[in-house]
Amino acid sequence: MFIEKIVEYREIILRQLKREIPEFEYNGMDKEDVFIVFSFFSAFIVNNLNNEGLLNRVVRLIDEICVIDNVNVKPLLDEIAITLYDCGYYDIIRRKLSGRAIGYFDEAIDKWKKGNGL
């Protein structure tokens, strides 16, 4: 049952990513761990912040992921939040996020800052 839930969550997340952001291409998406895919996706977001239409779809995807009731989702959101913050772009996307997503992102960034003595 536990393994089935992990596989189900992985398939849901990757299906949402492919549907919402078809511009994001990663050759190993179907084989890699979803966390690795989201590490590359985080960099993709940073590299495409000037594309308003794409950014709006990224925000919509993040908001959709936030409502998935699965403990494995949080690290994916953390990866995006920390990457955006570390690159100095968090404020650009923060004002577009839902309250729930802002809560996830702010918590992840606060923990990261504390862990890095910032």
Q: Is 52 exposed, middle or buried (0-12, 13-18, 19+ CB in 10 A)?
A: exposed
Contacts of 5 (CB under 8 A, 6+ apart): 70
The confidence band for 108, taking pLDDT boundaries of 50, 70 and 90, is very high
pLDDT at 26: 76
The confidence band for 109, taking pLDDT boundaries of 50, 70 and 90, is very high
**What is the spatial distance between Cα 7 and Cα 10, in angstroms, rounded to a whole number?**
5
Contact 81, 105 (CB under 8 A): yes
pLDDT at 3: 41
What is the value of pTM for the model shown?
A: 0.83
pLDDT in tens, 47-84: 999 999 999 999 999 998 888 767 778 888 999 999 99
Average pLDDT, integer, range 9-21? 84
**What is the spatial distance between Cα 78 and Cα 107, in angstroms, rounded to a whole number?**
9
Neighbours of 73 (CB within 10 A): 18
The confidence band for 31, taking pLDDT boundaries of 50, 70 and 90, is low
Contacts of 84 (CB under 8 A, 6+ apart): 42, 45, 46, 90, 92, 93, 105
pLDDT at 4: 45
pLDDT at 28: 67
Neighbours of 28 (CB within 10 A): 10
Averaged confidence pLDDT in the chain = 85
**What is the spatial distance between Cα 91 and Cα 76, in angstroms, rounded to a whole number?**
19
**DSSP class of 94:** H
